[in-house]
């Protein structure tokens, strides 16, 4: 009789993660004998947690805030997308060797195209943030041939680094780094086709839950506003965007699509997308009812 395999999500804190709910639903729907756990990992315990993934019973893990970059030196190998992004959100245990992948890049593009009905080739975009999610979003836009991408962040040296790291890959895309200030954003408001929030502003259960990274008057009426933050009600940014007449896309489709690609890497099976969407929406509603 085979033993139950293990998977989990590594982050700190993990209160907001919906991955356990929708990954477990997908494993159960396909009859895969595996348990997806919540591995809340304080900074001092990261090395030990990652080393434990080499156990033969462990298929791998997801990695979330704040470890997507910090986990890299603990792995044996990275695929091309994770190397280019400089961030890992999925680890696969291949016979004791730990492989790092980044499925946020695919998840971002699939959500943009399928749920947002938006083709990024040739577009002008503004990306807000410079963490792991922003790296994935900017790389996705570069790989799909966006023409001009502004990237703005509160801590300027972080966004400068991000843009300098990705510039060698951006033959068809002009990349510009900005501080996240009103004057800089206004000076760069050249008619964005796409605005993407990759900051944590608007995240439920945080002190910034009621904040938006972009003043409402700078949102163009004819753009798509994509907020990577997921919550059951619209984020402050998406509420402002709707008021301005812009189209909106929330973070749930990306969450499910990145998870579906992780699922395929761990199990070799296509993920049951509809099962995942249903379980993610239910978990989101339940978390909101529980006050998170």
Positions marked catalytic: 68
Strand 148-153 with 34-40, pairing: unpaired
Strand order in the sheet with 124-128: 174-179, 148-153, 124-128, 194-197, 224-227, 247-249
Sorted by sequence, the CB contacts under 8 Å of residue 77 that are 6+ apart come out as 97, 98, 99, 100
Q: How far is the CB of 166 from ligand NAP (least distance, A)?
A: 15
Q: Please state the closest distance from residue 250 (CB atom) to ligand NAP, in A.
A: 8
The residue with its CB nearest to ligand NAP is 131
Of the candidates 47, 46, 45, 21, the one whose C-alpha atom is nearest the C-alpha of residue 35 is 21
Identity of the residue, 37 or 208, whose beta carbon is nearer to ligand NAP in the bound complex: 208
Is the dihedral angle over the CA atoms 73, 77, 81, 84 positive or is it negative? positive
Residue closer to ligand NAP (CB basis): 64 or 93: 64
Q: Which is nearer to ligand NAP, 5 or 253 (CB)?
A: 253
Strand partners, 7: 36, 60
Which parts of 57-131 fold into alpha helices (H)?
80-85, 104-110
Residue placing its CB nearer to ligand NAP in the complex, 60 or 107: 107
Q: For residues 79 and 147, which CB has a smaller minimum distance to ligand NAP in the complex?
A: 79
User: Edge-to-edge strand order for the sheet containing 90-94?
Assistant: 34-40, 5-11, 58-63, 90-94, 97-101, 77-78
**CA-to-CA distance for 262 and 151, rounded, in angstroms?**
27
State in angstroms the smallest separation of the CB of 257 from ligand NAP: 8
Judged by the rule CB under 6 A, the positions of this chain that interact with ligand NAP are 65-66, 68, 104, 107, 129-134, 153-155, 158, 180, 198-201, 203, 208, 213, 228-230, 251, 254-255, 258
| Shortest distance, position 159 Cβ to ligand NAP, whole Å | 8
Of the candidates 4, 56, 34, the residue with the CA atom closest to the CA atom of residue 262: 34
CB of 69 to ligand NAP, least distance (A): 7
Q: Which residues pair with 100 in a beta bridge?
A: 78, 91
């Amino acid at each position: 009789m085979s033993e139950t395999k293990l998977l989990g999500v590594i982050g700190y804190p993990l209160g907001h993660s919906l991955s356990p709910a929708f990954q477990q639903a997908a494993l159960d729907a396909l009859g895969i004998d595996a348990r997806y756990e919540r591995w809340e990992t304080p900074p001092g315990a990261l090395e030990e947690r990652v080393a434990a993934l080499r156990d033969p019973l462990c298929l791998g893990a997801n990695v979330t805030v704040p470890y997507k970059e910090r986990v890299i030196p603990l792995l044996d190998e990275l695929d091309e997308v994770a190397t280019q992004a400089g961030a890992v959100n999925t680890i696969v245990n291949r016979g004791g060797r730990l492989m790092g992948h980044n499925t946020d890049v695919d998840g971002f593009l699939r959500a943009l195209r399928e749920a947002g009905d938006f083709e990024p080739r040739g577009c002008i975009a503004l990306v807000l943030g410079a963490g792991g999610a922003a790296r994935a979003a900017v790389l996705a836009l570069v790989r799909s041939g966006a023409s001009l991408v502004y990237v703005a962040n509160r801590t300027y040296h972080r966004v400068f680094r991000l843009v300098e790291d990705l510039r060698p890959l951006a033959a068809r895309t002009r990349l510009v780094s900005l501080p996240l200030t009103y004057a800089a954003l206004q000076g760069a408001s050249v008619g964005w086709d796409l605005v993407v929030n990759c900051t944590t502003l608007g995240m439920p259960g945080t002190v910034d839950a009621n904040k938006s990274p972009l003043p409402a008057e700078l949102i163009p009426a004819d753009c798509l506003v994509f907020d990577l933050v997921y919550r059951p009600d619209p984020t402050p940014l998406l509420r402002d965007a709707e008021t301005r007449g812009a189209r909106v896309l929330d973070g749930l489709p990306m969450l499910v699509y990145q998870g579906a690609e992780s699922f395929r890497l761990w199990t070799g099976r296509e993920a049951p997308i509809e099962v995942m969407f249903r379980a993610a929406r239910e978990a989101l509603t339940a978390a909101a009812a529980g006050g998170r």
